[in-house]
A and B are shown apart, each in its own frame.
Chain A
Amino acid sequence: MAIDRSDELVLMDMNYYNEHGYPFQAWDKIRSEDPIHHIQLDDGQSYWAITRYDDITSICTQPEIFENAPKVTFGDYSSSRIPMLVGMDPPDHRKFRDLIASKFTPLAIQWVRPFAEENVNRMLDKVKQRNGEIIDVLTDIVAPVPTATVQRILGVSDEFAKKIEEWTTNVFGCFDPAVNGGMDPEEFVSKTIKEMAEACEALIAERQKTPGDDLVTALGSAQVDGRPLTTMEKLGFFFLLVTAGHETTQSGATTGLYTLLQHPDQLEKLRANPALMPTAVDEILRFTPPVIHFCRTPNRDVELGGKQIKKGETLVLFYPAANRDPAKFSDPHKFDIERKPNRHLAFGWGEHVCLGMHMGRMQISVILEQILKRTKSIEVVGRPVLFNHPAIGGVRNLFVKMEVE
Chain B
Amino acid sequence: MENRFWICSMCSHVYSEEEGDPDSGIAPGTKWEDVPDDWVCPDCGARKSDFYLSE
Q: Which of B1-55 contact A (CB under 8 A)?
A: 9-12, 23, 40, 42-47
- Looking at A106, A347, A349, the one whose CB has the most chain B CB atoms below 10 A away is A349
Known: A61-B40, A341-B23. Contact between A350 and B46, CB under 8 A? yes
A369 CA / B23 CA spacing, docked (Å) = 30
Selected from A57, A61, A358, the residue in CB contact (under 8 A) with B12 is A358
| B45 and A349 contacting across the interface, CB-CB below 8 Å | yes
Which residues of A have CB within 8 Å of B45? 57, 60-61, 349-350, 353
Which residues of B have CB within 8 Å of A107? 12
- Chain A residue with minimal CB distance to B9? A101
| A106 and B12 contacting across the interface, CB-CB below 8 Å | yes
A60 CA / B47 CA spacing, docked (Å) = 11
Selected from A57, A341, A353, the residue in CB contact (under 8 A) with B10 is A353
Which residues of B have CB within 8 Å of A357? 11, 44
| A343 and B43 contacting across the interface, CB-CB below 8 Å | yes
Q: Does A40 contact B (CB under 8 A)?
A: no
Q: Which of A29-71 contact B (CB under 8 A)?
A: 57, 60-61
Which residues of A have CB within 8 Å of B23? 341
Which residues of A have CB within 8 Å of B47? 61
A120 CA / B44 CA spacing, docked (Å) = 29
The proximity string for A residues 306-345 relative to B, scoring 1 for CB distances below 8 Å and 0 otherwise, is: 0000000000000000000000000000000000010100
Query: Nearest Cβ in chain B — how far from A286, in angstroms?
Result: 14
A106 CA / B44 CA spacing, docked (Å) = 14
A351 CA / B11 CA spacing, docked (Å) = 10
Known: A61-B40, A341-B23. Contact between A353 and B46, CB under 8 A? yes
Query: Nearest Cβ in chain A — how far from B21, in angstroms?
Result: 11
Which residues of A have CB within 8 Å of B42? 343
Q: Which of A93-115 contact B (CB under 8 A)?
A: 101, 105-107
Selected from B12, B40, B43, B46, the residue in CB contact (under 8 A) with A105 is B12
Which residues of A have CB within 8 Å of B40? 61, 350
Query: Nearest Cβ in chain A — how far from B10, in angstroms?
Result: 5
A341 CA / B10 CA spacing, docked (Å) = 20
Query: Nearest Cβ in chain A — how far from B43, in angstroms?
Result: 7
Query: Nearest Cβ in chain A — how far from B18, in angstroms?
Result: 20
Which residues of B have CB within 8 Å of A61? 40, 45, 47
Which residues of B have CB within 8 Å of A353? 10-11, 44-46
Query: Nearest Cβ in chain B — how far from A349, in angstroms?
Result: 4
Which residues of B have CB within 8 Å of A101? 9
A1 CA / B11 CA spacing, docked (Å) = 39
A246 CA / B40 CA spacing, docked (Å) = 28
Query: Nearest Cβ in chain B — how far from A97, in angstroms?
Result: 9
Selected from A105, A341, A350, the residue in CB contact (under 8 A) with B44 is A350
- Looking at B12, B40, B43, B47, the one whose CB has the most chain A CB atoms below 10 A away is B12
- Chain B residue with minimal CB distance to A107? B12
Query: Nearest Cβ in chain A — how far from B39, in angstroms?
Result: 11
Query: Nearest Cβ in chain A — how far from B20, in angstroms?
Result: 15
The 4 A-B pairs with the shortest beta carbon distances in the complex, nearest first, are: A349-B45, A350-B45, A353-B44, A105-B12
**What is B's interface to A at a CB cutoff of 8 Å?**
9-12, 23, 40, 42-47
10 contacts between A and B (CB under 8 A): A107-B12, A341-B23, A343-B43, A350-B40, A350-B44, A351-B10, A353-B11, A353-B46, A357-B44, A358-B12
| Additional A-B contact list (4), CB under 8 Å, known A343-B43, A349-B44, A350-B46 | A350-B40, A353-B10, A353-B44, A358-B11
